């Protein structure tokens, strides 16, 4: 009778498990590094537009009494949201829908849109957004 620890099947399973673990470890390191190295930038927007929803560069500005600024990238696969229909933000790729606070209303996206920090210069009526 063969020793099961010396079999070819056991060897291949062990090598496969180590290769899979190494791949997942490297994947985690790579995606973590990409998030850390993501370039930060600021965008300035004049606040003289009367539209309820403004799509600008990498952000969406919701003009309310207290403005809300959201990332324009869908949390499902990162497609850029450029559509506002029936009071909802709509992703063009897979149909995810978000309310004006960035909360998902319809999937496949399950995470809310990222809220971005901003400041408003009341003298010049300009919004500065940190992306």
| 82-104: pLDDT as tens digits | 999 999 999 998 889 999 999 99
Using alpha carbons, select from 55, 129, 50 the residue that is nearest to residue 89: 55
Question: Residue 66 is part of which domain span?
Answer: 42-130
CATH number at residue 126: 2.102.10.10
Say what the pLDDT of residue 25 is. Answer: 75
Same domain, 14 and 74: no
- pLDDT per residue as tens digits for the range 36-81: 555 578 888 887 767 788 888 788 998 888 889 999 999 888 889 9
User: Does the model's pTM come out above 0.75?
Assistant: no
pLDDT at 126 over 80: yes
Same domain, 29 and 76: no
Say what the pLDDT of residue 6 is. Answer: 75
What are 3's two structure tokens? 């020793």
Same domain, 51 and 18: no
Say what the pLDDT of residue 58 is. Answer: 86
pLDDT at 3 over 70: no
Q: What's the rounded mean pLDDT across residues 100-129?
A: 89
Same domain, 13 and 47: no
The count of structural domains within the chain is 2
Say what the pLDDT of residue 1 is. Answer: 47
């Amino acid at each position: 009778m063969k020793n099961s620890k010396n079999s070819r099947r056991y060897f291949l399973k062990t090598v496969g498990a180590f290769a899979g673990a190494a791949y997942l470890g490297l994947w985690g390191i790579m995606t973590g590094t990409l998030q850390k190295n993501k370039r930060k930038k600021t965008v300035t927007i004049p606040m003289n537009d009367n539209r309820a929803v403004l799509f600008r560069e990498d952000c969406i500005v919701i003009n309310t009494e207290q403005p809300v600024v959201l990332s324009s990238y869908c949390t499902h696969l990162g497609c850029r949201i450029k559509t506002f229909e029936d009071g909802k933000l709509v992703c063009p790729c897979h149909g995810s829908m978000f309310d004006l606070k960035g909360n998902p209303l319809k999937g496949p996206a399950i995470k809310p849109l990222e809220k971005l920090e901003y400041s408003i210069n009341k003298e010049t009526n300009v919004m500065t957004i940190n992306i």
